[in-house]
Structure 1
Amino acid sequence: MMRMADKGKNPVYALQCLLKGLAMLPRKELRKYLLIPLLINVLLYSTVLVLGYYYMSDLIQQFIPGWLSWLEWILWPLFFVSFLITGFFTFTILANLIAAPFYSHLSARVAELLSGDSIDVVEQSWPKVLLAEIKRAGYLLSRMLPLLILFIIPVVNVVAPIVWALFGAWSMALEFMAYPLENRGLLFSEQKALLKEVRIAGLSFGGLTVLGLSLPIFNLIVSPAAVIGATVYIYTLAEQQEQ
């Protein structure tokens, strides 16, 4: 089983890899791998936001009497905050599920740029990649729902935001590290075991990714940047381990 170099446990190095992913986005060698995932993100976020705005307006008109119209100043900010909180997680998983095959190719191309030569990639069929994404989504959703209950339990709900933030960071680490690891032939269970060896670094990577995904407009480029950053992280550490 593949193991990570000790440097992989350094959370600062993980953050540096993510920032390098952002820096590599403009490279012309990657443009064709970025277009479709970017369009998927734009289409998905725009559709959800427009539909959410439409139904929110409808609910306000139906259930808020005219003399309470001032509540709109409270309800609209709550709507957008809720959209950002749920959007970075739910919509990111859905967008990545659709874009998974394209992100796999993006990760492989980044690895080639890092090596300066063609590399051996374990080719995964489209159905197999999608199945892996469905399993990952099931793993995340099965833990997300119980965690949401913490917010309505007295006393416990005080620590719920902290637990949720840690879970979000871990989820994003699992989500984006999967692409370079799948290209090396690692299955989901092996991916989890590997990332547990560098849990703190993974949480740092995922935490900064979550922060980026919560920022409007900027979140459209965070996913491909995270794929690139994860590839840089996995490639450099795996190479060091092999030397």
Structure 2
Amino acid sequence: MIQNQLITQPLSGAGYLLKGAKLISHPKLRIFVLIPLIINILIFAAAFWFLFSSITQWIDSYMAALPAFLSWLNYLLWPILVLTILFAFTFIFSAVANLIAAPFNGLLAEKTEIILTNQPLDDPGLSDLIKDLPRIFKRELQKLAYFLPRMLFCGLLFFIPGFGQIVAPFIWFVFAGWMMAIQYADFPFDNHKIPFATMKQALRKRLGKNLTFGMLVSFFTTLPIINFIIMPIAVCGATAFWVDVYKQESLNSLTSPEISVND
């Protein structure tokens, strides 16, 4: 059983994902894990059926568009493109799943924080949760508004012959990690009404750990079976990260005039 205590030394990004995997088995969290899990299973089962029926055709079309002088890169780019399509595809469907499951993921983050800190939080009733749904979905749309222009830029790189086609998969992989870090860190931050811009600033201060966490989430999202359970694992892991590293400094930042929220 997970002990109700704070960790004195912060873990690595991989360590927090592992902690999330342990937390989802906690008896007090199982019911809150169940609904996001069901949503993820339904969405990803449909998504991967469509993806694996089309991916070979997409890659062949892309490789055919390569300039002749780069044809020698076919064997190198093929596996990279497979991974890139998987990351792009799974991120899109993760965004859809997170949008639908946002209220439940926020509740899971809240209950996880209570277990980790052994301190009660404001516990709104069902009517309060329903009233809060517009704000929750607005936050999810705010994340999408941040992600989509950057996703478009990364996508356009794939259509630039030569250099763009070579670097695009690597840029996408790193950016996908950043997107996943934001996606899941946002649940505990939003539970405490931390502004979105303030959250991004906080994550950038520990960019390496957050990228590691996010890239691992992005990778596991591409793996069958594991992608069904990665959402609640990531929520619990990001919440543990929040408790150990961000909670006190982020709550203090709400009253600090030095932190700008216009980013």
TM-score, normalised relative to structure 1: 0.79
| Pairwise CA distance, 1:38 | 0.9
Name stretches of at least 5 consecutive residues in structure 2 with no aligned partner: 1-8, 58-78, 252-263
Alignment partner, residue 170 of structure 2? 162
The question of 1:91 aligning with 2:117 is answered no
C-alpha distance in 1, partners of 2:16/2:208? 14
Alignment partner, residue 35 of structure 2? 36
- 1:159 partner SS: helix
Alignment partner, residue 205 of structure 2? 197
Cα gap change, 1:146 to 1:82, in 2 (>3 Å): closer
The correspondence of residues 41-190 of structure 1 with structure 2, limited to 5 A, is 41-51=40-50, 56=54, 84-120=86-122, 125-153=132-160, 154-190=162-198
Cα gap change, 1:176 to 1:150, in 2 (>3 Å): same
Q: Which amino acid letter does the alignment assign opposite residue 94 of structure 1? A: V
Q: Deviations over 1:89-147 (max 9, x none)?
A: 10001100100000000000001001123124798711101010011012111110111
Q: Which amino acid letter does the alignment assign opposite residue 105 of structure 1? A: L
| Pairwise CA distance, 1:49 | 3.5
C-alpha distance in 2, partners of 1:214/1:105? 25
C-alpha distance in 2, partners of 1:116/1:193? 27
Cα gap change, 1:49 to 1:206, in 2 (>3 Å): closer
Please tell me whether the aligned partners of residues 103 and 224 of structure 1 are also in contact (alpha carbons under 8 angstroms). yes
| Pairwise CA distance, 1:192 | 1.0
- 2:110 partner SS: helix
Q: What is the root-mean-square deviation in Å for CA atoms of aligned residues?
A: 2.8
| Pairwise CA distance, 1:81 | 6.3
Q: Which amino acid letter does the alignment assign opposite residue 19 of structure 2? A: K
| Pairwise CA distance, 1:169 | 0.5
C-alpha distance in 2, partners of 1:50/1:148? 23
C-alpha distance in 2, partners of 1:115/1:41? 28
Alignment partner, residue 69 of structure 1? none
Name stretches of at least 5 consecutive residues in structure 1 with no aligned partner: 1-6, 60-76
Greater share of helix residues, 1 or 2?
1
C-alpha distance in 2, partners of 1:88/1:52? 10
Identity of aligned residues (%): 32
Q: Deviations over 1:167-192 (max 9, x none)?
A: 00000000000001011211211111
Q: RCO greater where, 1 or 2, for CA within 8 Å and sep 6 or more?
A: 1
Q: Which amino acid letter does the alignment assign opposite residue 228 of structure 2? A: L
The question of 1:237 aligning with 2:248 is answered no
Cα gap change, 1:52 to 1:158, in 2 (>3 Å): closer
Please tell me whether the aligned partners of residues 25 and 225 of structure 1 are also in contact (alpha carbons under 8 angstroms). yes
C-alpha distance in 1, partners of 2:123/2:163? 49
Aligned residues between the structures: 215
Alignment partner, residue 68 of structure 1? none
Cα gap change, 1:81 to 1:174, in 2 (>3 Å): closer
Please tell me whether the aligned partners of residues 121 and 184 of structure 1 are also in contact (alpha carbons under 8 angstroms). no
Alignment partner, residue 65 of structure 1? none
Alignment partner, residue 213 of structure 1? 221
Cα gap change, 1:50 to 1:200, in 2 (>3 Å): closer
C-alpha distance in 1, partners of 2:87/2:178? 16
C-alpha distance in 1, partners of 2:198/2:141? 16
Please tell me whether the aligned partners of residues 181 and 234 of structure 1 are also in contact (alpha carbons under 8 angstroms). yes
Q: Deviations over 1:205-231 (max 9, x none)?
A: 101111111111101111110100000
Please tell me whether the aligned partners of residues 87 and 173 of structure 2 are also in contact (alpha carbons under 8 angstroms). no
Q: Which amino acid letter does the alignment assign opposite residue 25 of structure 2? A: P
